[in-house]
């Protein structure tokens, strides 16, 4: 079992570069299933979720070659397969992205219901309802979805909630459907727009409107060379690391337009920011002030930064409130922050955080990726030593986090437990 051991109390100072966006890279891999031609992707993050998605599309018949740091080439290998392996889908929810491309290409897809982080049920109902609207027949048996369609038909689809995953899956399916598909109330996160940009380069006919995405199906898509956008969640995590340690951290690759909600809340809390075209620097010297947050679809405050923001607010002056509206079980990390000395009360889908003067290092366990990032932030600011178990969860979303933080002055190391 991997553990991170942090000796806190050091101000972080320096520059850190962000990886390509995890939540843009994973659907880009799935989109490669839509064509027989080569797909060249740049700025792919070296994280375990990408390793899982690589194994997934390889099992489905693709050949993936790593050409250099952050660059992969995806080509045809064996014939495209209809069935996604259970052992891969259960590891990561994003594996379910393959159902749309497989159904569009082959007219059939067999995909187990997905696993991943324990942050709520995150049902795939919207994915399946949209595919049914496009003419797919859906059957579920023992947790496995069997979808068939002679050829998907363009339809008008309204999403009851602007789900990122459902929006991306339906866009990919619609690229090869007959006639036009209209997706109303879609997600418009930067990662969705990045997928659309990639698909347009592949020859997909996609039009963006205010509250609608229109996709006119084509017979086939071609290959593409595409660079993934920077990871706004990683960027936000490092800005918060600068804030919680009262340091000065420049995050290279951070895009301000992707982080408007976080920037607003950091400034409200008293963190000074220097914003440039290709970087954001966080300066923090004194005690931060309490702020209130409600997580919402983009451009609202991102749910993936909710836990790291909570860690930051544990040392703010006053009482902050965070209301989680996206996932119903995203406060599993709270008990771990309380172990470190935080004063947090959970009331349904809301937490109240009363700032304390100090956090104190202890042993904690991370329940999911972003909770792990929150515990790292708390450990950086805590007195003494913090030991974080299940650190492999953090590796699902953050590339080389130990060395990146160490380069900023953190005293952090990874220890592997040896079985005897």
Residues 64 and 190 in one domain: yes
- On the question of pLDDT at 36 being above 60, the answer is yes
**pLDDT bracket for residue 418 (50, 70, 90):** low
Question: Residue for token digits 């930067």?
Answer: 190
Residues 400 and 252 in one domain: yes
- Taking the C-alpha atoms of residue 308 and residue 311, their distance in angstroms, rounded to an integer, is 5
When the pLDDT of each residue in the chain is averaged and rounded to a whole number, the result is 94
Q: Which residues form the domain of 240?
A: 2-18+231-416
Residues 162 and 202 in one domain: yes
Residues 8 and 30 in one domain: no
- Taking the C-alpha atoms of residue 288 and residue 281, their distance in angstroms, rounded to an integer, is 16
**pLDDT bracket for residue 115 (50, 70, 90):** low
Number of domains making up the chain = 2
Residues 50 and 143 in one domain: yes
20: phi > 0 → left, psi -120 to 50 → alpha, else beta; which? beta
Question: Residue for token digits 């008293």?
Answer: 270
Q: Which two tokens stand for residue 263?
A: 């920037």
Choosing from 117, 209, 287, 419, the catalytic residue is 117
Q: How many residues are given for the chain?
A: 420
Can you spell out the DSSP letters for 189-257? -HHHHHHHHHHHHTT-EEEE-SSEEEEE--S----EEEEPPB-HHHHHHHHHHHHHTT-EEEEET--GG
Domain termination site, one of 227, 261, 295 = 227
- Find, among 13, 5, 9, 18, the residue nearest to 252 by Cα: 18
Provide the 8-state DSSP code for 107. S
Domain termination site, one of 208, 227, 246 = 227
- Find, among 193, 227, 173, 208, the residue nearest to 30 by Cα: 173
**pLDDT bracket for residue 62 (50, 70, 90):** very high
The more confidently predicted of residues 246 and 88 is 246
pLDDT at 159 (0 to 100): 96
Residues 370 and 392 in one domain: yes
Domain termination site, one of 227, 249, 276 = 227
Q: Which residues pair with 414 in a beta bridge?
A: 4
Can you spell out the DSSP letters for 323-358? E--S-TT--TTHHHHHHTT-EEEEETTEEEEE--S-
Residues 8 and 58 in one domain: no
Q: How many CA atoms lie within 13 A of 38 on its CB side?
A: 6
pLDDT at 124 (0 to 100): 87
- Read off the CATH number of the domain in which 120 is found: 3.65.10.10
Residues 161 and 251 in one domain: no
The arithmetic mean of pLDDT across residues 390-417, rounded, is 94
- On the question of pLDDT at 383 being above 60, the answer is yes
The answer to whether 117 is a known catalytic residue is: yes
Question: Over the stretch 164-222, which tens digit does the pLDDT of each residue have?
Answer: 999 999 999 999 999 999 999 999 999 999 999 999 999 999 999 888 999 999 999 99
The arithmetic mean of pLDDT across residues 280-294, rounded, is 94
Residues 215 and 126 in one domain: yes
- Taking the C-alpha atoms of residue 132 and residue 313, their distance in angstroms, rounded to an integer, is 44
pLDDT at 118 (0 to 100): 41
| Predicted structure pTM score | 0.95
pLDDT at 91 (0 to 100): 79
Question: Over the stretch 215-239, which tens digit does the pLDDT of each residue have?
Answer: 999 999 999 999 999 999 999 999 9
- Find, among 167, 171, 85, the residue nearest to 124 by Cα: 167
Helix axes 22-31, 190-201, angle to 10 degrees: 30
Residues 312 and 194 in one domain: no
Q: Which two tokens stand for residue 363?
A: 């042993």
Q: Are strands 319-323 and 292-294 parallel, antiparallel or unpaired?
A: parallel
Residues 216 and 359 in one domain: no
Residues 7 and 52 in one domain: no
């Amino acid at each position: 079992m991997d553990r991170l051991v942090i000796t806190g109390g050091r101000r972080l100072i320096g520059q850190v570069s962000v990886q390509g966006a995890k939540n843009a890279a994973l659907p880009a891999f799935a989109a490669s299933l839509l064509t027989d031609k080569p797909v060249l992707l740049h700025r792919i993050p070296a994280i375990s979720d990408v390793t899982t998605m690589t194994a997934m599309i390889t099992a489905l018949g693709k050949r993936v070659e790593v050409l250099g740091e952050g660059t992969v080439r995806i080509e045809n290998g064996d014939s495209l397969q209809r069935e996604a392996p259970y052992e891969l889908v259960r590891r990561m929810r994003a594996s379910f992205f393959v159902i749309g491309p497989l159904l569009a290409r082959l007219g059939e897809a067999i995909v187990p219901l997905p696993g991943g982080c324990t942050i709520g049920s995150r049902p795939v109902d919207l994915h399946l309802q949209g595919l049914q609207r496009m003419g797919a027949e859906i059957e579920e048996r023992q947790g496995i979805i069997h979808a068939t369609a002679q050829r998907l038909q363009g339809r008008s689809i309204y999403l009851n909630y602007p789900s990122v995953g459902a929006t991306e899956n339906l866009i990919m399916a619609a690229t090869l459907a007959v006639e036009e598909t209209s997706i109303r109330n879609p997600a418009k996160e930067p990662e969705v727009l990045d997928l659309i940009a990639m698909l347009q380069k592949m020859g997909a006919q996609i039009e963006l409107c205010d509250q609608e995405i229109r996709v006119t199906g084509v017979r086939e898509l071609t290959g593409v060379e595409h660079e993934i956008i920077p990871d706004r969640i990683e960027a936000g995590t490092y800005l918060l690391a600068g804030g919680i340690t009262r340091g000065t951290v420049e995050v290279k690759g951070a895009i301000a337009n992707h982080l408007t909600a976080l920037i607003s809340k950091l400034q409200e809390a008293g963190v000074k920011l220097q914003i440039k075209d290709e970087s954001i620097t966080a300066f923090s010297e004194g005690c931060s002030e309490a702020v209130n947050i409600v997580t919402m679809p983009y451009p609202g405050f991102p749910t993936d930064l909710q836990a790291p923001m909570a860690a930051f607010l544990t040392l703010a002056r006053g009482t902050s409130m965070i209301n989680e509206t996206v996932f119903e079980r995203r406060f599993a990390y709270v008990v771990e922050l309380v172990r470190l000395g935080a004063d947090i009360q959970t009331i349904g889908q809301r937490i109240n955080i009363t700032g304390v003067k100090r956090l104190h290092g202890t042993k904690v366990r991370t329940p999911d990726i972003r909770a792990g990032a929150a515990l790292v932030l708390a450990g950086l600011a805590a007195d003494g030593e913090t030991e974080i178990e299940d650190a492999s969860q953090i590796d699902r979303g953050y590339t080389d986090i130990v060395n990146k933080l160490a380069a900023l002055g953190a005293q952090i190391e990874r220890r592997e437990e040896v079985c005897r």
